Each structure stands twice: as C-alpha cells, then as structure tokens.
Structure 1
Amino acid sequence: MAVVGLLLAGCSATAAPPAYNAADVMFLQMLIPQNQQGIDIVRLAADRQLPAPLKELAAAIASTQQTEIADMQNWLKAWGQPETMDLNPQAHAAHGGMKMTSPDLVSALQAAPDAEFSRKFLDVLSGQQQGAVELAQTENGTSGGINAQARDLARRVIESRSAEVKQLLNFKV
C-alpha cells in the first residue's frame, strides 16, 4: 500500500504545472537591470541639494529596489535560470523591449549643474520609474508570467512606481 501511495504521489508531482514560464524569467531578467539603474540614478542625488522629502523618497526607492533585486536573483537561482538576459534587443520585443533610461540622459543628469539638477532628476527618475511600470504590465498581461511571486512583484511594482511617479510629478523645485 505504501508503495502504491508513493507511486501515486510521484505521478501527481510530475503532472503539476510548472512553477514559472519563460515570461516570468524574462520579466525578472529585465527588471533586475532596470531596478539597478533606478538605484544608480537615485544615488546621484545623495550629494546634491534637494528638498528633504525628495531625498527621503530617493532613499526609499533605493532600498525597495535593492530588496527586489535580491528576491529576483534568489528566484532565478532557485529556478536554475541565469540572472542576466539575452543581450539581443530583438529577444525582448515580445515583452515591450527594454525599459531602460538612455545612458545619455543619465550622464547628462550626472553632469548637470546644481541649479538644474533637481528638475532633471525629477524628469529622469519619473521616466525611469514609469519604465518599470510598463515592464511589470507585461508580466501580468495575457501572455505574461504564471509564477505567483513574480506576478505579485509585478503588481507591487505597478502600484508603487505609479505612486512614486505621481509624487515626483508633484514636487516643486
């Protein structure tokens, strides 16, 4: 009887649906560098004169996105998938393409004089965060991922980044 139970348990385990799909993997592989770029952008504000609430928001963004990166790396490792994605831009077309901020914009922000930094920072960061929203929408779309954790992360990214963009657009500098 115990042998039959083990055989049946083995059969049901092999019939279980996969825990993730290619869309989940691609979403995580695309969001990791997108988040890292967001962290790099907010770090540019560390030594600049900005209103305290904006500095606090920047610090919160960095902390949240670093935690998300660690989670995503752990999921990919557990799935036996690489952390980095295919660097061919065509590989990402089905996911809406990469949502990274242009390196030229980031360089211009870094080089901006103090008098212009605040306005440019708000513009660049709000665009970067909006890119994360668009990327997360692909995960939860009809041809998106199936992993509950990745889909929940996408939902949280959509909610939090949308709220951050709204906050950034309301700052007066």
Structure 2
Amino acid sequence: MDSRRWLTIGGAVVALVAAGGAIAWSRSGGERSASTERPQASTSGPPVTVIQPGRPGESAKVTDSGQVAPLDASTYNAVDTAFVQMMIAHHQQAIQMADLAPQRAGNTQLRNLAERMSIAQKIEIDVLEAWLQERRLPANDPSHNHATMPGMQTPEAIAALTAARGADFDKRFVTMMTAHHEGARVMAGDVLKGGTDQRVNEIANEMAVEQTSEIRRMRDLKVT
C-alpha cells in the first residue's frame, strides 16, 4: 500500500455534534449491532459575511451566513464514529505486536513485513484521529469494550508472544496477527454495510484490501 494516500483528507469539514452510539461485538455470541442515530449540525453563532459563488456565467454575490443554506451535515452516523474510534485501539494492538518482531522474530521476511505493518498502521491511526478531530468527536468512547472487538488478542496471548523467540515467536505472531487482521476485516465489513461517510467507506475498503494482502503474505512465509 502506498502510505502517502493515507495522508490526504480532502474537503472542508463542517463542525458537528455527533449523536452517541457504538458498534458492539459480543465475544460469546458473535452478534454485532449498531446505533444509526444521525448527527445534527451546529447552528450557533452570529451571521458572518460570506461570498456566494454564482452559477456559470453569473457573478458572485456578497451575503451573510444566515442567508446561505447550510451544508448537509448528515455525512456520517454512529456506525462510522464507532468504527473509527474502535479501529484506533485495534490498530494500536497490532502495532504493539509488530514492534516486538525486530528483536524476536527468527524469519527475516517476517521482521520486514512486521515493520511495514507497524508503519502503515501508525499512518492509518493518524488519519482516523484526524477524522475525529475535524468533527470534534472524542478519540474514544468509554462504552466501547475493546477486548470484545473481533481479532483482539488477550493479555495472556500478548505476554506469551512477548516472551517467545525465534521460530516460536514466528508461529505465534503469524497465528495472532492473522486472527487480528481477519477481525479488522469483519469490522470494515460492518461499517461498509451500516456507515454513511464516504471517507470512512474508502478507509475501510482500502484497509480490508491491504489486510487481506498481508494475511496472504504471512501464510506464504510458511512458519506455522
């Protein structure tokens, strides 16, 4: 994946007050549900002078913001917001695992792949955090249970991976990261079905494609 494409988030953004909601995953039943409340635009503040472009062949006109129809603020919903917030935590665990590889992995190709994963997911976190900041949304929601997200590894599994070396580390890493990536693909699929924000849709789609590719590369290493 060309990491530079993650660095561009185009377009002006209208400040919004988001409705509450989260995607919730149940570890026991595997069920997923999502709130689909839509946010409302903020209309506070006095009118300001604006220049409104005319149609082709017409001149622009000066008016005040009170006379300009507001932009459609319903570009994202609670499913989008929950996905972005929870994917940040999901990526953080993947980075934690990937950053163990340089000092522990026995397979050189695995070390290189883990390094690329860490770099790419750090960039993706920056993009996700920027999406939230532009909409004045919090970086996390206390109602989210990160441990139940698809693919998340237990503290015990992370501890065992940290203690492993050489071929043992390689096998554990591929098994755990493959499950982690497959969980991210599930989450991406959920937001593609229930979200409404075009940028989040693009991020989720590219993420699913990239993580599918990385799963294939890990399997090709044949370390398990």
Range of TM-score over shorter length: 0.7 to 0.9
Question: Which residue among 77, 81, 87 is the counterpart of 2:133?
Answer: 77
1:98 aligned to which of 124, 149, 153? 149
How far residue 116 of structure 1 moved from its aligned partner, in angstroms, is: 1.2
Q: 2:216 aligns with which of 152, 166, 173?
A: 166
Which of 132, 137, 154 is the aligned partner of 2:204?
154
- Alignment of 1:35 onto 2:85: no
Question: Is 2:110 the counterpart of 1:58?
Answer: no
2:104–2:165: 8 Å Cα contact kept in structure 1? no
TM-score normalised per structure 1: 0.84
Amino acid at match of 2:149: M
What CA distance in whole angstroms lies between the structure 2 residues aligned with 1:4 and 1:121?
Answer: 60
Q: Of the two, which has the highest radius of gyration?
A: 2
Letter of the aligned partner of 2:103 in structure 1?
D
**Residues 2-61 of structure 1: CA distance to partner in whole angstroms, max 9, x if unpaired?**
5789666x22x25x2512211111000110010010000011111024322211111111
CA distance in 1, matches of 2:142, 2:167: 39
C-alpha deviations, 1:123-149, integer Å up to 9, x for none? 1111111111111111101xx211111
Structure-1 separation of matches of 2:65 and 2:143: 44
CA distance in 2, matches of 1:62, 1:49: 15
CA, structure 1 residues 21+47, in 2 after alignment: closer, same or farther (shift >3 Å)? same
The residue identity in structure 2 corresponding to 1:98 is M
Q: What TM-score does the superposition give when structure 2 sets the normalisation length?
A: 0.66
Q: Which runs of 5+ in 1 are unaligned?
A: none
CA distance in 1 between counterparts of 2:156 and 2:107 reads 25
Aligned to 1:26: 82
Looking at structure 2, the residues matched to 115 and 17 of structure 1 have their Cα atoms a distance apart, in angstroms, of 52
Of residues 188, 206, 209, the one that matches 1:136 is 188
Give, in whole Å, the separation in 1 of the partners of 2:139 and 2:65. Answer: 35
Unaligned runs of 5+ in 2: 1-60
Identity across the alignment (%): 27
1:125 matched to 2:177: yes
Give secondary structure in 1 for the equivalent of 2:142: coil
Identify the range of structure 1 (60-69 vs 97-106) with the bigger mean alpha-carbon deviation. 97-106
Query: Once the 2 structures are TM-superposed, how far is the Cα of residue 88 of structure 1 from its aligned partner?
Result: 4.7
Distance 2:161 2:84 in 1: 27
